[in-house]
Amino acid sequence: MQFLATSLVLLLLLASTSLVAQAQSNAKKDSVVSDNLERLSLEDLMNVEIISATKIAQRPIEAPSIVSLITPQQIREYGWISLNDVLYAQPGFSPSQDFDRRTVSARGMYEGWNNNHLLMLIDGIPFNDNLYGTAFTSEITPLFLAKSLEIIRGPGSALYGSNATNGVIGINTISANDTASFSGEAQARVGTLGTQVYDVVVGSSQEMFSAVLGYNAFATSGYEYLSYDGSLRRTPQGALRQFTTNDARNSSYLFAKIEGKKALEGLSLQFHDQRWQFETGHGWLWNIPDVGESMQEARRILALSYKPKSTGDLSIEAALRYQNRTIDWNIRFFPDSTSFGGILYPRGVSESIATNADDLFARFQLIYKLPEQANIIAAAEGTVFWYDGDKNHTSNINLAGDFLPFAGNALRTIPSFLQWIEGNPMLNLGVFAQFSSGKLFGDKLSATLGVRYDNQSFQFNALDKTGLPKESLSFSALSPRLGVVFLADRDFSVKFLAGRAFRAPAPTELFGANTFALASNIRNLKPEFITTVELGTDWIINKTINWRLNGFYTNFENQIAYSVANANLSTNVYTLVTAGIETEINMSFDRFSGFVNYSFAARLGETILDNTIQASNNQVTWVPAHTLNLGATYRAERFTAALTAHLQGETLRRQSDRTTPEFTRLRPNSLPAWFTVDARLAYQITETLELSLLGNNLLDTQGMMMKNFDYPFDYRIGGRRIIASMRLQLR
């Protein structure tokens, strides 16, 4: 795949050279990567309207949400490769890790592998994974397709339903409608740790339609190091052994979009083909594998939307999205001669799963304009998920019964991965309404009131009953929202926000069976709820400085995570009450621009629902209570220099993480704070060609991220990485 991607990039680069003369003659035209957001001043950026907060275009200072706008220029100048890179630089979020996956913790809440409680929107359409419900924020979702990013902190369920509990990431994609003829861009990045990143995007705008085609390929050998694991394997002298972690990963992403013009205006068709491979880090059950694994996943998405230009007070929008999700895993859970659950596995435990699932999403929405810029939004949407069994599912142990090894270490067929739901569709229905007052209360005061009702229902196969009878189950919730904005003047606002969000359990949390990869608790698992109250200010001090400050209170009920008590059983582990503050300053002075932000979270109380976790009522654990980020860019003629820094505060453990004396000697009571610096230097050789050098973790800081529960290891942050880049832009 890497060779194919490299060849594709080189061919397009060669083909592009014949168009350089044309590109230079059109140098003043907007490009497909949206130059209209490329070189705006801070003052202009503060006036760019965002839509994800209310589905109505508003300046960020007036929107009833805590929202940040990220431009392609910021992404490029800071050298951000993934959505994780962007989120880690925002207030309220922090880096964490679980298994192999780099996760995003939010507002003092630790996030596990299974779901990050973020909603991803691509051009307003939900794009979360249909198996786990997660938003893919790592490198497998590239940034080349983004014309801009809108990041909302806090709940968004009143508009968007399930998964929008900790925040919403809105990706507004590139469009060839911004250009009069042909545009394109190619970028090749190669660096240490086996890093290769290739992006190609081309676009064309014709009389009746415009089209964009883009491709990304990513690969890295990852950051691998010697570490203990949870296997208790020992040296001949009796000490715990260390093994090399597994972190190699690669991915590809194909993006195509066609948009109608004139009589077809408002019609858009998108295709996304996303594929990735990864290794399991410390192992799926914290046993670093003794043999090679193969972990391949993919999804293919078709999205159709229609939003005709409104000529009156009523406008409509319709959207349809189909997702096909595939998994092809060959997992090594335990090495030879492992004892687990009182059973000896002389030849270890291996499992192969090849399966797929589908879902279809539909939305119909009405917006009615009232006097004084007020409006009402009403919409209905639904998703049907279906799963018809596995293409292949084998193991060398009886995963559907007594978990004993098969005779002769034979591989035998196992019943399906999600047998609880096999052959039964799952239906999610949602209806919502929102009223925005506009100028009804005058120029200074506005209010937004929304409410949404969601219902998830399905029949399932009762595996725990004779004859596998069908039973029914449903979850429902009401998600209200209130936002009041007092605009003291055009450049200063005070915001009061309150809402309740809802997340129904995902299919893998409910229906896992016959596997060591996960386990489900269908009869006891409860939905998650988060109630949030915020008070914030947004002040554009002058044309060069914008300051934001907000305080929040959240009550997160029934968080679902993997339970160590029951071998990856999806469980409601705890309810946490947290309060905190977030503040940020964005600035721009002629050639210089930058940001600085600080976040603090305090635990006010908690209720523990998993008996393997010990309460820690007055301390934020597993993630830092304090984070600090800063960034700066300087432009001089053809040179651009950028610097970002991240300070991650001390991270505390729970007492239940320190019950095995042999492990406690290897891990301190808390992880110390750490500080990293990234820098990028770029030189614009011509109007179309740029060379750059990016350094990640230049100080080679040996920082650590928390492994929760009682294990002898934590996760190391990535070591120093240097990446050289060549970017060719055609206009």
d(CA 317, CA 401): 50
Render pLDDT for 224-280 as a digit per residue (tens, 0 to 9).
999 999 999 999 999 999 999 999 999 999 999 999 999 999 999 999 999 999 999
Q: Is the dihedral angle over the CA atoms 39, 45, 267, 83 positive or is it negative?
A: positive
Taking only the tens place, the pLDDT of each residue in 37-69 is 666 677 777 778 888 888 888 999 999 999 999
Handedness of CA 704, 707, 710, 711 (dihedral sign): negative
Which pLDDT does position 10 carry in this prediction? 40
What CA–CA distance (Å, rounded) separates 126 from 163? 10
Q: Where are the beta strands (DSSP E) in 685-730?
A: 689-696, 704-705, 715-716, 721-730
Q: What are residue 350's DSSP bridge partners?
A: 332
pLDDT digits (tens, 9 = 90+) for 684-700: 999 999 999 999 999 99
pLDDT in tens, 611-621: 889 999 899 99
Chain length of the chain:
731
Instruction: Name residue, tokens 């919403």.
Output: 168
200 contacts 8 by C-beta, under 8 angstroms: yes
- How many CB atoms lie under 10 A from the CB of residue 712? 21
SS3 content of the chain, % helix, strand, coil (to 5): 10, 50, 40
Interstrand relation of 118-122 and 167-173 (parallel, antiparallel or unpaired): parallel
Structure token pair of residue 615? 């309460």
Give the angle 4-324-111 at the CA atoms, nearest 5°: 90
**Angstrom distance (rounded) from CA 603 to CA 481:** 24
Give the pLDDT of residue 37.
Answer: 62
Q: Which residues are within 8 A (CB) of 373 and not within 5 positions of it... i.e. 6 or more apart?
A: 438, 439
SS (HEC) of 333-358 = EECCCEEECCEEECCCEEEEEEEEEE
Q: In the structure encoding, which two tokens stand for residue 310, read together?
A: 């409104």
Claim: this prediction has a pTM higher than 0.85 = yes
The phi, psi pair for 648, rounded to 5°, reads -105, 120
Is residue 212 within 8 A of residue 174, CB to CB? The reply is yes
Tokens of 625: 């209570």
CATH code of domain 2-730: 2.40.170.20
Instruction: Enumerate the domain spans of the chain.
Output: 2-730
> 211-240 pLDDT, tens per residue?
999 999 999 999 999 999 999 999 999 999
Instruction: Give the three-state DSSP class for 309.
Output: coil
Could you give the percent of the chain with pLDDT greater than 70? 93
According to DSSP, the β-strands at 704-705 and 715-716 are antiparallel
What band does 30 get if pLDDT is binned at 50, 70 and 90?
very low
Q: Give per-residue pLDDT as tens, 471-509.
A: 999 999 999 999 999 999 999 999 999 999 989 999 999
Q: What is the pLDDT of residue 5?
A: 43
Nearest-angstrom CA–CA distance, 595 and 491: 18
Burial 469-494 (b: 16+ CB within 10 A, else e): eeeebebebebebbbbbebeeebebe
- Is pLDDT at 15 greater than 60 in this prediction? no
Which 3 state secondary structure label does DSSP give 495? Answer: strand
